[in-house]
């Protein structure tokens, strides 16, 4: 993706912020060992989830195709074996995040990943 | 449904405040007056929808015609969505109801135009068609609409990257849970100026389709799928969704009113106006923090924040909803730049308990997590008239876009 990148170091991770040409912000949370353990996005169009979720995209697709009771529309939280994907927003305003619960460093609250 | 519930609903129909106060169970302490039959009033109903299993879906019917013809079809089970823009109809081949042959929109090369419209929980894919749309006494002529039809052409890779096509979420059946979506939110077009541009700033919503192969194309504003209300001859500056306060039940009806301050039945009254910012949001305060927020009849619960912030447990079997041990009443404060704020009290119930009643499809206390954001979904609308003013349109409350309640 064409993007401008800004990096901010923290004690237990570093934060890379990417700004796409379509106006979307993607934040990558990267461990000191270099592993991406969370991504968060916000913008007028949804992100390329295939790119963001990588090898787990197929699992995500399967989970989305599996009915969970009532038909509904709205915010979605998808729990995969080792990944949590949360989608929010409405047309013209999409946000969300995906994170690997085991890999989130101690001291970084889940609430602050956004 | 108990006898007591029936009495309560009957009292609401008569707008008797003394009975309303006794109804309880809703997420709101408001009482609201619901417009009765008129040329700008369309009946809406919250029920299980065309697939019989929708939770908190608000549905209506629309009439679509081949432009300038009497070849028309009335389609019911259309989800009323203030969170999107434009009419989308699920084709009969996809499990929907649309059978009238709406003509495809074509590009300058004569090829049909396809659309990949992103929604939060998936996307809708299919051709753009042209239709005359009539709702109550209001009409939009020759308007671009989307036909949701997975057989139209191969799903482009760029579109598949947005997620899963809604119509495929239940194989061979109507995965949308509706026969279509009537997007009557605060914007006009479903994409805007970026879809009219070439290059990397084009987000890839519109496609030129040669046979089954589709490639991203530019789409002028006038050709984009768009909010039909903005194209009505009158009452075209917004809508009011009017639903009564309700207990958990099987069905409840109200009105979708077209226009704000254009008729005697759609005055703004003493509603507070909340301007919408360039992110299509306003804000909401909760426990001293301020979060981005939006109002959306197409979201079927109050989706807000997370367990850590709200102290509401997520359901163990479905992490999209909250399952507190008992009904929990909270308050939050919607606000907007340059407007007054208003404190809203709401009650969240246990989704597992609510869903255990197989006859219930109206859930005023349904809530779920939405980290860092407030989505004032359908439960917010019960007992409260919610105004949505369209971008660039004049109203007695100022120029849209705004929400008011």
Residue B372 lies inside a defined structural domain of this protein: yes
Residues of A in contact with B81 (CB under 8 A): 73
Answer whether residue B22 is part of any domain: no
Instruction: Indicate which CATH number applies to the domain containing B70.
Output: 2.40.70.10
Q: How close, in Å, is residue A75 to chain B by CA atoms? A: 6
Average pLDDT of span B307-311: 95
| Residue B249 forms part of a structural domain | no
Q: Which of B73-77, B82-86, B147-151, B244-248 has the lowest mean pLDDT?
A: B147-151
Q: What residues of chain A lie within 8 A of the CB of B375, using their CB?
A: 74-75, 88, 90
Query: Does residue B169 lie in a domain region?
Result: yes
Categorize the per-residue pLDDT at B52 as very low, low, confident or very high, splitting at 50, 70 and 90: very high
With 70 as the cut, is the pLDDT of residue B254 above it?
Answer: yes
Q: Is B83 close to A90, i.e. CB distance below 8 A?
A: yes
Pick from A63-77, B180-194, B243-257: least confident:
A63-77
B371 and A113 within 8 Å at the Cβ level: the answer is yes
* pLDDT the model gives residue B169: 53
Please name the residues between 54 and 83 in chain A that touch chain B, using a CB distance below 8 Å.
61, 64-65, 67-79
Residues of chain A with pLDDT under 50: 1
Is residue B55, in this structure, part of any structural domain at all? yes
Which range, of A68-72, B313-317, B332-336, averages the lowest pLDDT? A68-72
Distances (CA, A) of B83 to B53, B75, B80, B229: 21, 21, 9, 14
Does ipTM come in above 0.85? yes
Whether residue B253 is contained in a domain is answered as no
Per-residue model confidence (pLDDT) at position B5 = 32
A-B interface: how many C-beta pairs under 8 angstroms? 181
Same domain, B205 and B280: no
Q: What percent of chain B has pLDDT over 90?
A: 85
pLDDT more than 70, % of chain B:
91
B300 against A68, higher pLDDT:
B300
* Cα(B254)–Cα(B71) distance, integer angstroms: 29
Minimal C-alpha gap between A90 and chain B (Å): 5
Partners of B371 on chain A (C-beta within 8 Å) are 86, 88, 97, 110-111, 113-114
Q: How far is A46 from chain B (nearest CA, A)?
A: 6
- CA separation, residue B51 to residues A70, B90, B95, B126, B361 (Å): 10, 13, 10, 21, 12
Nearest CA-CA partner of B298 in B244, B379, B227, B361: B379
Task: Compute the CA torsion angle A11, A33, A104, A48 (nearest 10 deg).
Answer: 110
Among B117, B203, B315, most A C-beta atoms within 10 A, so best to mutate, is: B203
H or E element: which one contains B131? strand B122-135
Compare B2 and B257 and report the one with higher pLDDT. B257
Contacts of A21 (CB under 8 A, 6+ apart): A2, A3, B199, B200, B201
Q: Identify the pLDDT of residue B282.
A: 97
Give the per-residue pLDDT at B23: 39
pLDDT of residue B81: 98
- CA distances for B91 relative to A64, B142, B146, B209, B281, angstroms: 21, 19, 10, 18, 32
Residue B30: the pLDDT is 53
What is the rounded radius of gyration, in angstroms, for the C-alpha atoms of chain B? 21
Whether A75 sits inside 8 A of B202 (CB atoms) is no
How many residues belong to chain B?
A: 405
Per residue in B66-78, pLDDT (tens digit) is 999 999 999 999 9
The whole-number pLDDT of residue B4 equals: 34
- Pair (B168, B47) in one structural domain: yes
CA distance B187 to B294: 13
The verdict on B223 and B332 lying in the same domain is no
Radius of gyration of chain A (CA): 14
Of B200, B370, B226, B214, whose CA–CA distance to B284 is shortest? B370
Average pLDDT, chain B: 91
Residues B93, B155 within the same domain: yes
**Chain B, nearest residue to A71 by Cα:** B54
Positive or negative torsion for Cα A28, A29, A30, A32: positive
Indicate whether B7 pLDDT > 60.
no
pLDDT at B67: 98
What would the mean pLDDT of B223-247 be, rounded to a whole number?
98
Domain residue ranges in chain A: 3-102
> Helices (DSSP H) in B53-177: which residue ranges?
157-160
Domain containing B327 — which CATH number? 2.40.70
Q: What is the pLDDT of residue B15?
A: 39
Same domain, B141 and B284: no
Burial degree of B264 (CB within 10 A; 0-12, 13-18, 19+): exposed
In the listed set B175, B209, B231, which residue is the last one of a domain according to the structure?
B231
Which residue of A92, A98, A109, A113 is the best one to mutate when testing the B interface, meaning the one whose CB has the most B CBs within 10 A? A92
User: Domain tally for chain B?
Assistant: 2
Q: Residue B386's domain spans which residues?
A: 267-404
Question: Would you mind telling me the total number of residues written for chain A in this entry?
Answer: 114
Residue to mutate among B173, B370, B401, with most A CBs inside 10 A, is B370
Nearest chain B residue to A52 by CA distance is B161
Q: Is the dihedral of CA B393, B397, B400, B403 positive or negative?
A: negative
């Amino acid at each position: 993706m064409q993007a401008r990148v800004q990096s901010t170091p923290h004690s237990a991770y570093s934060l890379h912020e990417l700004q796409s040409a379509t106006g979307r912000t993607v934040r990558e949370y990267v461990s000191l060992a270099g592993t991406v353990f969370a991504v968060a996005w916000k913008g007028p169009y949804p992100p390329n989830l295939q790119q963001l979720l990588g090898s787990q995209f197929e699992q995500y697709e399967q989970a989305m195709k599996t009915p969970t009771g009532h038909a509904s529309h709205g915010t979605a939280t998808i729990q995969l074996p080792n990944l949590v994907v949360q989608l929010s927003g409405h047309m013209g305003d999409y946000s969300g995040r995906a994170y690997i619960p085991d890999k989130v460093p101690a001291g970084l609250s889940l609430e602050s990943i956004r | 449904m108990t006898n007591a519930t029936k009495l309560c609903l009957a009292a609401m129909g008569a707008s008797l405040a003394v009975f309303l106060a006794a109804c309880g169970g809703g997420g709101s302490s408001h009482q609201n007056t619901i417009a009765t039959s008129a040329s700008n009033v369309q009946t809406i109903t919250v029920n299980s929808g065309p697939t019989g299993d929708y939770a908190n879906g608000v549905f209506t019917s629309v009439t679509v015609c081949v432009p300038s013809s009497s070849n028309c079809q009335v389609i019911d089970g259309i989800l009323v969505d203030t969170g999107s823009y434009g009419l989308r109809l699920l084709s009969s081949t996809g499990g929907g109801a649309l059978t009238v042959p709406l003509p495809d929109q074509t590009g300058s090369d004569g090829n049909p135009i396809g659309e990949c419209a992103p929604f939060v929980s998936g996307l809708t894919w299919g051709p753009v068609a042209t239709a005359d749309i009539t709702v109550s006494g209001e009409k939009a002529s020759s308007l671009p609409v989307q036909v949701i039809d997975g057989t139209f052409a191969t799903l482009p890779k760029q579109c598949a990257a947005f997620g899963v096509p809604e119509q495929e979420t239940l194989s061979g059946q109507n995965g949308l849970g509706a026969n279509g979506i009537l997007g009557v939110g605060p914007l006009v077009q479903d994409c805007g100026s970026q879809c009219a541009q070439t290059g990397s700033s084009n987000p890839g919503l519109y496609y030129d389709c040669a046979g089954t192969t589709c490639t991203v194309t530019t789409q002028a504003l006038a050709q984009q799928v768009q909010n039909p209300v903005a194209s009505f001859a009158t009452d075209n500056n917004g809508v009011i969704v009017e639903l009564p306060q309700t207990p958990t039940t099987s069905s409840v009806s109200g009105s979708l009113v077209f226009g704000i301050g254009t008729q005697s039945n759609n005055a703004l009254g003493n509603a507070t106006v909340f301007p919408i910012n360039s992110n299509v949001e306003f804000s909401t305060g909760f426990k001293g923090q301020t979060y981005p927020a939006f109002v959306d009849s197409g979201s079927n619960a109050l989706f807000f924040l997370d367990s850590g912030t709200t102290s509401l447990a997520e359901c163990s079997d479905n992490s999209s909803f909250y399952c507190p041990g008992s009904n929990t009443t909270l308050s939050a404060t919607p606000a907007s730049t340059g407007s007054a704020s208003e404190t809203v009290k709401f009650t969240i119930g246990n989704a597992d308990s609510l869903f255990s009643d197989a006859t219930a499809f109206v859930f005023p206390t349904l809530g779920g997590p939405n980290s860092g954001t407030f989505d004032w979904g359908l439960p917010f609308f019960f007992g409260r008239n919610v105004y949505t003013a369209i971008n660039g349109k004049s109203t007695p409350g100022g120029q849209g876009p705004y929400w008011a309640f």
